[in-house]
Amino acid sequence: MPDPMRIRATIQDDQATIRILMSHEMETGQRKDAAGNIVPPHFIQSVVATCNGRPVFRAEWGPAVSKNPYVQFQFGGAKAGDKIQITWVDSKGETRTDEAVIR
């Protein structure tokens, strides 16, 4: 299982800024290993963020996203103490969910 995401969630007025560093190898399926065999693709396909259960961000990715991707986004209507939840699903069906409190 991949390492937990690093999530930093801050607020200014009612505008929340969310920064996420995800731990994932993000294999494209185009690289070869030392024996010359193609390394199969394995990458994050979708990312969803919710704030207190309300969807606030969604992304659909392909194999061109770099290893250990970083994402930053903003949304309105948040307040300090709200809970942000980030979930990703990769091309092998593996999933990871982590939470943070907006400060």
**pLDDT per position as a tens digit, 28-85:** 999 999 999 999 999 999 999 999 999 999 999 999 999 999 999 999 999 999 999 9
* pLDDT tops 80 at residue 16: yes
Query: What's residue 14's pLDDT?
Result: 86
The pLDDT, as a whole number, for residue 12 is 95
Note the Cα 73 to chain centre separation in Å: 11
**Residue 23 lies in domain:** 6-101
Flag whether 87 is in a domain: yes
Give the Cα separation of 47 and 74 in Å (integer): 15
Rg of the chain (C-alpha set): 16
Read off the amino acid at residue 42: H
Q: Quick check: is 36 in a domain?
A: yes
**Cα 33–Cα 37–Cα 42 angle in degrees, nearest 5:** 70
The CA-atom distances, in angstroms, between 80 and each of 5, 24, 72 are: 20, 29, 18
For the chain, the domain total comes to 1
Residue 75 located in a structural domain = yes
Could you tell me the CATH number of the domain that includes residue 31? 2.60.40.10
Residue 81 forms part of a structural domain: yes
* Domain contains 1: no
For the whole model, what pTM was predicted? 0.92
Please count the helices (runs of H) and the strands (runs of E) in the chain. 0, 7
